[in-house]
Amino acid sequence: MLKASALYMVIIIALVIGILCSSLIVTAYFYRLQYQKTFRHEQLQNNVASAVNILLGGTDTSYAAPKTFSLFNQDADSVSTQRIFWGTIDIGVAKAMIQQDTIYRTFAIANTIDSSKWAAVYLDDNSRPLSLSGNTSIVGDAYLSPAGVDQAYVNNQAYTGDKRLIIGVKHNSEKTLPPLNVGRLQELQQLIQQNRKNEPGLPSTDSLINSFLLPTKIINLGKSVNTLKHIKLSGNIILFSDTALTLDSTTQLNNVIVVAQSITVNSGFHGACQLFAHDTIGVQQRCRFDYPSVLAIMRFDPASILKKGAKISLYNNVVFNGCIFTYEQQASTLPPLIHIGKKVTVKGLVYSQGYVEFQDKAEIDGSVFTDRFLYQTSFTRYENYVVNTTINEKLLSTYYLTSVLFPVTTKKKRILQWLESN
């Protein structure tokens, strides 16, 4: 007969074996869950990448409203896409959903540069030569009047730059600038003239961040003159003012759109934003605008165009990354002016339907499209003169993207900047 203790041993062994088997079953179960989770995450990543590519390949209007659909005709494998008009660029919103899991990406969209249209300088054919004086350098292709380019002696300064004058290929320009994109101009007009009477004013908090996954937050400052101080605004926010608005150096703006009658940016400001004004924009000394920022004067009302000339001024030691442009629906008797001050660096594109004025040691790393250049001393005003200025399209990044608004882009869209993801 077996001893009674042997029965206990059998029970203990069976218990150990049971525990081991249970552990293996539980381990296999959790391994399967983790495998399914990893597989689902990889599938979500692939699906949201497909949604991003769909947005990049679609037309400007086909995804204006959110659109949800299945990639492979299965309800468990769906994506959502939307393109949001955002000033001169677009914002893409891509989501991928499987069961209860969702991942998303928001990103800025811009267009690639058409190298056949890009140039360091595009100056209207106004039957006058471009005159260079002082230590001036123009590197890149140039579209000029058939009168060409000459050296000049201005303000006791002779030309001391490269003997080739234009370090690039010279082409004949047309009588007018290549036009801005009509469709984008119409969207900008709707933005600037939209009804915002019932929108609230500034929030009581010192910080407001609004995701592009949420509806646009509109802030209306009305007709009172305001100075923004000690506040941070970021994301899907549009700020309107019917009169003068000042941005203090303590204001932080990130991807925000500002629309006002006139805008002043105080010394020391640092941010990335799109500023649209009707009359003037003044950027004081030592400000820095990160890419992709915009300074723009846009005038669609013919009656108001005749009252006052438009002007964008960048004063000394400003660094600006993005595009600066003026647009008037009807030509005025006082052409708009873009003033580039001393030691100002602009990395991007300058487009003026009037004058561009440079002061000493101004630098454009990119391109300038203008009707006229202007150089002004204490006593004399010179048209089509560039003095002590550098315009070098080669210093601009080969990966530079810009708005479809400008006449230098292809139809290819690329991701300009990743904004939000999970």
DSSP letters for 181-249:
PHHHHHHHHHHHH---TT-----SSSEEEE-TTSPPEEEE-TTS-EEE-S-EEEESEEEE-SSEEEE-T
The tokens for 277 are 């004004």
Whether this model's pTM surpasses 0.75: yes
Residues 195 and 234 in one domain: yes
- Confidence class of residue 63 from pLDDT cuts 50, 70 and 90? confident
Residues 146 and 287 in one domain: yes
Residues 217 and 326 in one domain: yes
The tokens for 415 are 């991701």
Number of domains in the chain: 2
Residues 270 and 132 in one domain: yes
416 in any annotated domain: no
163 in any annotated domain: yes
Domain residues for the domain of 11 are 4-111
pLDDT tens per residue, range 224-281: 888 999 999 999 999 999 999 999 999 999 999 999 999 999 999 999 999 999 999 9
417 in any annotated domain: no
CB 319 within 8 A of CB 289: yes
357 in any annotated domain: yes
Residues 187 and 68 in one domain: no
pLDDT tens per residue, range 340-386: 999 999 999 999 999 999 999 999 999 999 999 999 887 888 999 99
Residues 126 and 233 in one domain: yes
Q: pLDDT value at position 11?
A: 78
Q: pLDDT value at position 306?
A: 57
Q: How many C-beta atoms surround the C-beta of residue 397 within 10 A?
A: 11
d(CA 63, CA 132): 48
Q: pLDDT value at position 23?
A: 79
419 in any annotated domain: no
418 in any annotated domain: no
Residues 97 and 73 in one domain: yes
Amino acid residing at 345: T
Handedness of CA 165, 166, 168, 170 (dihedral sign): negative
Residues 297 and 363 in one domain: yes
d(CA 131, CA 390): 14
420 in any annotated domain: no
At 41 the three-state DSSP class reads helix
Residues 102 and 129 in one domain: no
Amino acid residing at 217: K
Residues 291 and 376 in one domain: yes
pLDDT tens per residue, range 75-121: 667 888 999 999 999 999 999 888 778 899 999 999 999 988 999 99
Amino acid residing at 254: N
